[in-house]
């Protein structure tokens, strides 16, 4: 079997293999001999981009291939099995008179160390697993606990280094009603190299696995992994990339362990199969952790509860975090970035504050008027269908009688006084302005409406217009959104803990 570790998400790699549209066409039945239907070709990976050059033709030349989506099976010269998903043919040409070659682009590649002729799972269906491990480019720097300690002896030439891995050996965080477990892992491997002395290698990654070896599709694991990554990204304000994504199918016996058979003999067990998932990532290059970026040590004692709540509140937070990621697109204009942040605030109100709002005088007056209209219709001779239509409109309006400006004002009013120092970015004298929050929320509303509902210079006149205004408002909302997302995870009366986060703490010192 080949080594799947050579398949990373950020490397360039090419390898020869044999390929077929159908698994049954790859090998002769119950044999390692390639069938006559298998075609040679080269698989190339370039930073997650997957292409396959076929030295032959799967389709008839000139067929309507641009509308077809394919699944392609392959066996590499290194002894690894490959499934290419969602493949499109991007070129078909004559390499010589009468001889056609084809080139395919694949969206996803599964690299497995399992021989296809011995599989005991239905490979025509979705690939399943019980565990995934994945690396993130900033984990080595983020894992700043259980660091090595040094012991200097009286002999200045002798130094002993001690490695402690207690946290990473023991942590297990249950999520989604205990169906899945997430572990932060750091493997330490030591070996002695002749003429070089003792060497230690560490590998930092995150592991997600099911209870009792329950199988899940890779898509489910990927969704959990993505949401786990987004928590770390949001808290650190750094947006990372996967370095690899590895999956395993295991059970109680078929897992990685050594069985003692007695008499000095042992038996090595391994998973039914393991593999790597290759896909292209949107970010070509991610920023590195800063000196004052949040590290694991800052939230070590809170991480389990944060992770649990993060998944519990996923439905409420999803749109906010998706917009947050969208704003990382360097091609977005500053107007779009600010509008996205205003949408995040509106969503936060709708999902977290709306149910807490007390009835206002405006609500009471609306309810009184609605009841009077209903009583009048009941006592009149209006047709029943007309009454139903009016009642439907009244009930609908009852649910949507708070304006966008009022929602934004409600969020800003709840922003803690300790953090409102950031308002000075908009106006150094904001404390003396008793209507600052009202006016700020109105300007945010007008800006959002202007760029969302179509530019009209005669309307939404309080909108932001200059680059400085957009940048200042955007900076303020960065802190507002960061605080409220943390508040949704920590709950009420935990502000003092939230203030210790480096991103907020730096602002409080100014």
Pairing of β 131-136 and β 197-210: antiparallel
Mean pLDDT of the chain: 86
What would the pLDDT profile of 271-323 be if each residue is shown by its tens digit? 988 999 999 887 556 678 888 899 999 999 999 999 999 999 999 999 999 99
Q: What's the pLDDT score for residue 60?
A: 56
Q: Can you tell me the mean pLDDT for 5-16? A: 88
- pLDDT bracket for residue 118 (50, 70, 90): low
Q: What's the pLDDT score for residue 68?
A: 65
DSSP conformation letters of 128-168: EESEEEEEETTHHHH--SS--EEEE-SSTT-EEEE---HHH
What would the pLDDT profile of 434-478 be if each residue is shown by its tens digit? 999 999 999 999 999 999 887 677 788 899 999 999 999 999 999
Neighbours of 388 (CB within 10 A): 11
Closest CA to 182 of 204, 203, 208: 208
- Between 3 and 307, the more confident residue is 307
Answer for the pair 230, 247: CB distance below 8 angstroms, yes or no.
no
Neighbours of 246 (CB within 10 A): 20
Q: What's the pLDDT score for residue 61?
A: 44
* pLDDT > 90: percent of the chain: 53
Task: State pTM to two decimals.
Answer: 0.84
Q: What is the C-alpha to C-alpha distance for residues 358 and 361, in angstroms, rounded to an integer?
A: 10
φ/ψ (deg, to 5) at 491: 90, -170
- Identify the three-state secondary structure at position 33: coil
Closest CA to 44 of 94, 2, 106: 106
Closest CA to 482 of 415, 391, 383: 415
Closest CA to 220 of 88, 131, 324: 131
Above 90 in pLDDT, residue 422?
yes
Above 90 in pLDDT, residue 248?
yes
Answer for the pair 430, 424: CB distance below 8 angstroms, yes or no.
yes
Q: What is the C-alpha to C-alpha distance for residues 239 and 257, in angstroms, rounded to an integer?
A: 35
Answer for the pair 182, 205: CB distance below 8 angstroms, yes or no.
no
Q: What's the pLDDT score for residue 94?
A: 64
φ/ψ (deg, to 5) at 263: 55, 30
- pLDDT bracket for residue 124 (50, 70, 90): low
Q: What's the pLDDT score for residue 445?
A: 94
Closest CA to 188 of 226, 155, 219, 161: 161
Q: How many Cα atoms occupy the beta-carbon half-sphere of 33 within 13 Å? A: 6
Above 70 in pLDDT, residue 364?
no
Least confident of 147-151, 193-197, 281-285, 367-371: 281-285
Above 70 in pLDDT, residue 116?
no
Answer for the pair 77, 34: CB distance below 8 angstroms, yes or no.
no
- Between 134 and 368, the more confident residue is 134
What would the pLDDT profile of 59-80 be if each residue is shown by its tens digit? 654 445 555 678 899 999 999 9
Closest CA to 113 of 139, 149, 79, 145: 79
Above 70 in pLDDT, residue 368?
yes
Q: What is the C-alpha to C-alpha distance for residues 336 and 338, in angstroms, rounded to an integer?
A: 5
* pLDDT > 70: percent of the chain: 87
Q: What is the C-alpha to C-alpha distance for residues 322 and 287, in angstroms, rounded to an integer?
A: 19
Above 80 in pLDDT, residue 82?
yes
């Amino acid at each position: 079997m080949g080594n799947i570790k050579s398949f990373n998400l950020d490397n360039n790699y090419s390898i020869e293999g044999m390929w077929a549209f159908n698994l049954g066409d790859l090998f002769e039945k119950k044999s390692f001999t390639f069938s006559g239907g298998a075609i040679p070709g080269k698989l190339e990976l370039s930073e997650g981009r997957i292409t396959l050059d076929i030295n032959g033709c799967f389709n008839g030349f000139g067929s309507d291939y641009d509308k077809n989506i394919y699944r392609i099976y392959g066996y590499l010269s290194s002894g690894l099995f490959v499934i290419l998903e969602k493949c499109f043919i991007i070129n078909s040409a004559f390499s010589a008179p009468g001889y056609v070659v084809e080139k395919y682009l694949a969206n996803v590649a599964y690299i497995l160390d399992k021989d296809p002729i011995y599989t005991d799972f239905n490979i025509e269906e979705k690939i399943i697993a019980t565990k995934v491990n994945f690396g993130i480019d900033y984990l080595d720097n983020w894992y700043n606990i259980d660091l090595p300690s040094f012991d200097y002896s009286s002999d200045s030439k002798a130094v002993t280094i001690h490695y402690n891995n207690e946290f990473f050996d023991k942590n297990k965080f249950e999520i989604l009603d205990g169906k899945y477990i997430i572990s932060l892992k750091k493997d330490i491997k030591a070996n002695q190299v002749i003429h070089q002395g003792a060497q230690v290698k560490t590998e930092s990654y995150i592991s997600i696995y099911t209870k009792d070896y329950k199988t899940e599709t890779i898509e489910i694991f990927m969704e959990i992994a993505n949401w786990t990554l987004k928590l770390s990204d949001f808290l650190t304000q750094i947006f990372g990339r996967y370095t690899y994504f590895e999956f395993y199918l295991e059970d109680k016996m078929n897992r990685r362990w050594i069985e003692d058979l007695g008499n000095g003999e042992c038996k090595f067990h391994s998973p039914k199969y393991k593999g790597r998932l290759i896909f292209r990532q949107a970010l070509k290059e991610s920023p590195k952790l800063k000196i004052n970026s949040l590290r694991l040590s800052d939230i070590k004692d809170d991480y389990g509860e944060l992770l649990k709540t993060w998944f519990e509140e996923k439905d409420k937070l999803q749109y906010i975090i998706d917009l947050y990621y969208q704003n990382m697109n360097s091609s977005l204009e500053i107007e779009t970035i600010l509008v996205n942040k205003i949408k995040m605030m509106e969503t936060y109100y709708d999902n977290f504050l709306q149910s807490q709002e007390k009835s206002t005088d405006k609500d009471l007056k609306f309810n009184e008027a609605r009841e009077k209209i209903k009583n009048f219709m009941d006592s009149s001779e209006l047709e029943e269908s007309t009454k139903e239509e009016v009642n439907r409109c009244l009930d609908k309006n009852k649910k949507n009688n708070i304006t966008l400006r009022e929602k934004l004002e409600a969020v800003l009013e709840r922003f803690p006084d300790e953090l409102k120092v950031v308002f000075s970015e908009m106006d150094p004298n904001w404390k003396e302005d008793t209507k600052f929050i009202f006016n700020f929320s109105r300007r945010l509303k007008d800006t959002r409406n202007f760029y969302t509902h179509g530019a009209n210079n005669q309307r939404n006149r309080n909108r932001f217009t200059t680059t400085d205004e957009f940048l200042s408002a955007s900076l303020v909302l960065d802190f507002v959104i960061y605080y409220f997302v943390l508040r949704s995870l920590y709950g009420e009366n935990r502000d003092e803990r939230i203030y210790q986060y480096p991103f907020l703490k730096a602002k409080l010192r100014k």
